[in-house]
Chain A
C-alpha cells in the first residue's frame, strides 16, 4: 500500500484506527529493503515481531506527546537536495584518528582508513553479517530489546530490523587514537538506518566520534556494552540540512566502575529526536549524557527532542544529564528525562538539568523531568529552566565595546558551557566550541 493511500483513506477511528496504523507500519517496512541478516537474522526476526506488536507511535503515546511522530511514520522521507557546498565535516579534521566513512549509511572502504589498530577490532555490520557468526551477536538488538521496557521505542526496533550497515567495535585495550565515523550523503531520498555495536572490555577505553550528514531521514542505534572499569566517550556532531528528519538512540549497559560519557551537538534539522537509554548495572559506575542543540525557526521548522531514561540498578553510581537548547525564531525544544532508581541502588547520585535559552518570544521549550526512586539513601536532583539573554551580562559586554551580535554569541556560548564541559578532552571540546561559535556568528547575521 502506498503512503498516499494510507494518508487519504477515510476511516472511522474507533474501528479502523488500529488497522490503519498497522497498514502504515507495513508501508513503512515495505519501502525499506530489509536485509535477511546472517548472525543478526534471529535478532531481526525478534525485533520485527516486537515492532509489529508495538506498532508505530501516535501523538497520544505518552513519550510522543510533544513531538509529532508523523515525519518518522511515513513510508518514505521527502527527498532533500544535497548541498553542493557543504563541507564533509571539518570537525575533528586535524586530529590523529581512525576514520570510517559511511555513505547513506553504507560503509565506504575506499574512503576509510585501514581498520586495524592496536587494542581494538573493527568490523562493519554488512560484511560481518554476510560472513557468519560474530561476537556482536550477543549484543545486536539485545540492548535495544531490553530498552523497550518500560517505555516503548518502536523506531529502535525498526532500526534493528532494517539496519543495513554500521560499525562493530570490540575494544580490548586502550587504542592510541579515537575512532571517527563520518556520514555522507549521496542519494537525495536516502532513508538511512545505521546501527553500531560497541563492546568495551574490562579496563579498556575508547573515544568514538561521529559527524557528518545522514540521509534525508535517518534512524540510528548505538548499542554500547561497558564491562567492569571500561570507558567509552562518545562525541557526536551531526550536520543536518534544514529539512532533515532524524532519530537516534543510544542503548548502553554500564557495568561496575565503568564510565560512559556521551555528548551530542545538534544544529538545524526540522524534526530531530535523540533518545538515550542507559542501564547502570554495576556498582560505582558513572554515566554522563549531555547535549547542546541550536535551532533557528527562520530557515524552516526546527523541532528538537531529547528523551533520556537512566536506570540505576547498582550502588554508589553517578549519573548526570545536562541538556541545553538555544532556540530562535519559533524553534521548539523538548526534553523528557527520567532517572529511575531501583530498589537497592543505594548511594545513587543522580543529577539532571535541562535548560533552554529562548532568543525571542516565538520559541518554546517543553520539559518533562521525572524521578522515580525506590531506594532510601540516594541523592537525586532535577531542574529545568527557560530563560532569555541576561540583560545585565549583555550590557556589561557592550559597555566594554563588544558589539551586540558578538555579545550574544558570547552569552550563548556561556549558556552552553556546562554541556560542553562534559567533553573531557580539551582539544575536542575546543573544536566543538569553535564550530558552535562559527555557526552562531553566521546565524547572528541572518
Chain B
C-alpha cells in the first residue's frame, strides 16, 4: 500500500535536515505504529506524505499503491486515497461542517470519475456515521471545529475519515488531548474502519492508544530514520523502559 524508500527531507526555509533516509512499507490491511521521542521527525513525515508546503525532498521517495505520492498536490493525494488525521484539527469559522464535508466527499468522487452524492444521499450517510461516533446534529451544523472540545475535534477527524473512506490513513498523535472515554470512542471508530483493503500508520508518543488500536508492526523512529521495527511488544517495551535503552541499542 504505502512504500517509503530512503526518504530525505529538509525544511525549505532553513537548511535543516529532518528525515535522513527513512524507509518503511505498510502492506494493505495492516496497522503500523510509529513511536519516537520528540523531534524525531514523526510529524514531518506525516506532512511530507500528505503534501504540506515548506518541505523539500532531497532524496528518496514515497508511493501509494505504486503511484508517486510526492508529485501530487494535497487534494490529488486525498483523491488517491490518502488521509491525514491532524494532531491539531483546524478551526474554520463561517464554513459549516456539513458543507465542508460534502464538498470534500464530492470533490474526491469527481476527481476519481465517480458520480457525486446528492444532498439526500450525503445526509443519510453522514447521519449514520456521525451517530456511531456520538456526533450530534448540532455539531454537524456548526462551523468546522469551531467551539469543539479536543475530543470533539478528534471525533470529527474520524468522521471525515469514515466519510472519505481512504485506503491509507495516517494518524498524527490522535491520542493527544483525549481523555479515556474519548480515546475509546475514537479507537472504536478507527477499528470499525479496519479492513483488508485499508492500512493505517499511527503516529504516537505513548503506548496507551495502541491498547485500543492494536498494531501489526511497531516502528521506532529517531533522528529522521526508523531505527527498530518489531511486534506490539516493542510498544510495551517503550512504555516500561523509555526510549533510552532502545535507541542506545540501535546505535
Contacts and interface: CB of A to CB of B under 8 A. Distances in A.
Interface of A: 390-393, 395-404, 406-407, 410-411, 413-418, 420
A401 B75 contact: yes
B79 interface: yes
Contact of B53 (A395, A415, A420): A395
B86 A406 contact: no
Contact of B164 (A391, A398, A401, A407): A401
Given A406-B103, A406-B107, A400 B160 contact: yes
Contact of A411 (B74, B75, B92, B111): B92
B89 A396 contact: yes
B93 A414 contact: yes
Contacts of B93: 414, 417-418
A398 B79 contact: no
A403 B86 contact: no
B53 A400 contact: no
Interface string B101-125: 0011101100100000000000000
Contacts of A403: 75, 107
A401 B78 contact: yes
Main secondary structure of the interface of A (DSSP, over half): helix
A414 B92 CA distance: 6
Given A396-B89, A410-B100, A414-B93, A401 B51 contact: no
Contacts of A406: 103, 107
B92 A399 contact: no
Nearest to A391: B53
Interface of B: 50-53, 73-75, 77-79, 83-84, 86, 89-90, 92-95, 100, 103-105, 107-108, 111, 143, 160, 164
Contact of A400 (B52, B73, B94, B104): B104
A401 B92 contact: no
A106 to B, nearest CB: 39
A336 to B, nearest CB: 26
A404 B94 contact: no
B64 to A, nearest CB: 14
Given A391-B53, A406-B103, A398 B94 contact: no
Contact of B86 (A396, A414, A417, A420): A396
A399 B103 contact: no
15 contacts: A395-B52, A395-B74, A397-B92, A398-B74, A399-B77, A399-B84, A400-B104, A403-B75, A404-B75, A411-B92, A414-B92, A414-B95, A415-B94, A418-B94, A420-B94
Contact of A410 (B53, B75, B95, B160): B95
B103 A402 contact: yes
A401 B104 contact: yes
B50 A399 contact: yes
Nearest to A416: B94
Contacts of A393: 90, 92
A396 B75 contact: no
Given A404-B73, A413-B95, A396 B53 contact: no
B95 A398 contact: no
Nearest to A414: B94
Contacts of A397: 92, 100, 104
8 closest pairs, A vs B, by CB? A417-B94, A401-B78, A398-B74, A401-B108, A400-B104, A396-B90, A414-B94, A398-B75
Given A401-B104, A414-B93, A420-B94, 12 more contacts: A393-B90, A396-B90, A399-B77, A399-B83, A400-B78, A400-B100, A401-B107, A403-B107, A407-B75, A413-B94, A414-B143, A416-B94
A400 B108 CA distance: 8
A402 B101 CA distance: 9
Contacts of A417: 93-95, 143
A13 B90 CA distance: 57
Given A410-B95, A414-B95, A420-B94, A402 B53 contact: no
A113 B152 CA distance: 50
A358 to B, nearest CB: 18
A416 B95 CA distance: 10
A398 B89 contact: no
A396 B78 CA distance: 11
A340 B78 CA distance: 52
A147 B128 CA distance: 58
Contact of A402 (B77, B83, B90, B104): B104
Contacts of B89: 396
A392 B78 contact: no
B164 A400 contact: yes
Contacts of A392: 90
Nearest to B78: A401
B136 to A, nearest CB: 21
Contacts of B94: 413-418, 420
A420 B143 CA distance: 14
